[in-house]
Amino acid sequence: MSEVKISAAEVNKLRKATGAGMMDCKKALVEAKGDFDAAIDVLRKKGQKVAEKRADRESSEGAAAIKINDNNTVGVAIVLGCETDFVGKNENFLALANELAEKAINFDSKEDFLASDFGGMTVSEKLVEQTGVIGEKLEINAFEKLEAPYVGSYVHINKIGALVGLSEANEEVAKDVAMQVASMGATSLSYKGFDAEYVANETEARIAVIEKDNEELARLGKTLKNVPQYISMAQLTPEVMAQAEADAKEQLKAEGKPEQIWDKILPGKMERFVSDNTTLDQEQCLLDQKFIKDEKQTVADYVASKNVEVTAFKRVSLG
């Protein structure tokens, strides 16, 4: 029986629909005896076989992609994962990531997004199909959605994506804060979002690390690190602050400083106390971090100077 003749136009149509290579498309059409839909199934089954073989592979490379709706009130950030940096930088792969983000904005969860339609198949099935086309495991490694009066974003070399919600429209602030989120990796908007048990455990762990470091520094005859009592504003109750002020006054008295100048010295000492005892906030709370464009102020100071508020943020990254 003679082989079914397949035209270049049919091959090109299947290639555009699936992203598969010309030869794979031709073979699929031949196997399907020229039936377009059956050829798609042939490619899909090939993808399933490849996906099964590569199921235990790590998809730690890939691309972050973001889509924001036309009136800047809703944004979604996803990571399309693959196995190698080579594939992650491929133009067709990046185009697929952006196309998926375009669709993802219509869904509130990763599960609903994966089950949604993508050209006659689900998104999950499309990923399996493309696994067969590309030869690497593909999956959605991250899905984050954000709604706010104004949503801005920033994508860093397709590796990190950040969404920021503001109380009102301000493109400059949204981009600046999104860059901050991408660069500094905050996990919480404010210390008020911390769980008390987490703060307590983190305090104990951090103090233990510093004390161990100090043992080595003492052995070497070097200056010891300050051992904080606390690590977050969540711990600095009015009682704690009152005690810190009393301790500062006792220190000034011991140093022989005239009481009439204490009011000039105390604010600086209290500011230093807060700084020394809020290291967790400075690392993980977006608003308490030093602003990357001007480290003399915090992110909170910066947004306040622009008369806007940060309502929320989301961050996705590879790995």
Pick the closest to residue 19 from 123, 118, 101, 96 (CA basis). 96
Q: Assign residue 12 the CATH number of its domain.
A: 1.10.8.10
- 107 and 28 in a common domain: no
DSSP-derived secondary structure for 220-238: TTPPPPP--S-SSGGG--H
Residue 50: the pLDDT is 66
Distance CA 135, CA 41 (A): 17
Domain that holds residue 310: 192-317
pTM for the full predicted model = 0.78
182 lies in some domain:
no
178 lies in some domain:
no
121 lies in some domain:
yes
Pick the closest to residue 183 from 155, 147, 144 (CA basis). 155
- 304 and 243 in a common domain: yes
Contact 300/287 with Cβ under 8 angstroms?
yes
Longest dimension (CA), the chain: 108
Residue 48: the pLDDT is 67
Domains of the chain: total: 3
Per-residue pLDDT of the chain (319 residues; tens, 9 = 90+): 456 778 888 878 877 777 666 777 788 888 888 888 888 777 777 766 665 667 677 788 999 999 999 999 999 999 999 999 999 999 989 999 999 999 999 999 999 999 999 988 899 998 988 888 788 889 999 999 999 999 999 999 999 999 999 999 999 999 999 999 999 999 999 999 899 999 999 999 999 999 999 999 999 999 999 899 999 999 999 999 999 999 999 999 999 999 999 999 999 999 999 999 999 999 999 999 999 999 999 999 999 999 999 999 999 999 6
Distance CA 192, CA 231 (A): 13
Distance CA 147, CA 59 (A): 28
Residue 46 Rama label (left phi>0; alpha psi -120 to 50; beta): alpha
- 260 and 153 in a common domain: no
Residue 22: the pLDDT is 74
- 308 and 214 in a common domain: yes
Residue 47: the pLDDT is 67
- Residue carrying structure tokens 């052995």: 219
Q: Assign residue 132 the CATH number of its domain.
A: 3.30.479.20
Residue 1: the pLDDT is 43
* Helix (H/G/I), strand (E/B), else coil: 177: helix
